[in-house]
Amino acid sequence: MRFANPDDIEANAEVVLHAYKKGINYFDSAPGYCSDRSEDIIGAAVRQMKPGTFHLSTKSSEADGGAVRASLEKSLKRLNFIRSAEDPSVVAAALRFNVSNPDITSTLVGFTTTEHVDQAVAAIEDFKPYDAGHITAMREKILEAFEGLCTGCEYCLPCPEDVAIPKLMEAYNHKLLGDGDPQQITNRLT
């Protein structure tokens, strides 16, 4: 998609919504498309689409595992991937998704600042569980898009067998994300 004025998010989102209402259900995006506004435009449209009735794609040109994760997280935020309109942040959406599941009895939250702690606590203070339909739709989206990816949290460290788990998982992520060059994947292990 190309838009004459990519900064007019709402007007361009209306074009995407028009396509959706006409039966188009696959939308391709990427950081950098439309003067780096494509994901914002599609994200604005997605907020008005019924979950489970469309498909999104985006991509990252990053080579480093941490940079790939940061790029994809930014894309997910822009595309409104796991947030409902009621969620103030992706962190709040993730916590709400987990706590809404009666089979999950505790949720781990990684934080590095007091702001992160405050965001996590705020997400739970006024907690309202997602309905079963939303949970099912989000579970399907997560499984379709991120099956098997390592998040880089490093909770696996230290490994009692001194296995360099983060390096192995970064190489595995790289393989899953589509780099078919075995040498490039092997180079990540050194």
d(CA 33, CA 30): 6
Is 0.85 surpassed by the pTM of this model?
A: no
Residue type at 102 in one-letter notation:
P
Domain residue ranges in the chain: 1-81, 82-147, 148-190
pLDDT of amino acid 178: 54
Does residue 177 have a pLDDT over 60? no
What's the start-to-end Cα distance of the chain, in Å? 40
Grade residue 32 by pLDDT with cuts at 50, 70 and 90.
Answer: confident
pLDDT at 17: 92
pLDDT digits (tens, 9 = 90+) for 102-133: 777 777 665 556 777 787 788 888 778 888 88
3-state secondary structure of 113: coil
Q: pLDDT tens-digit profile of 88-99? A: 766 677 777 778
Model pLDDT, residue 131: 81
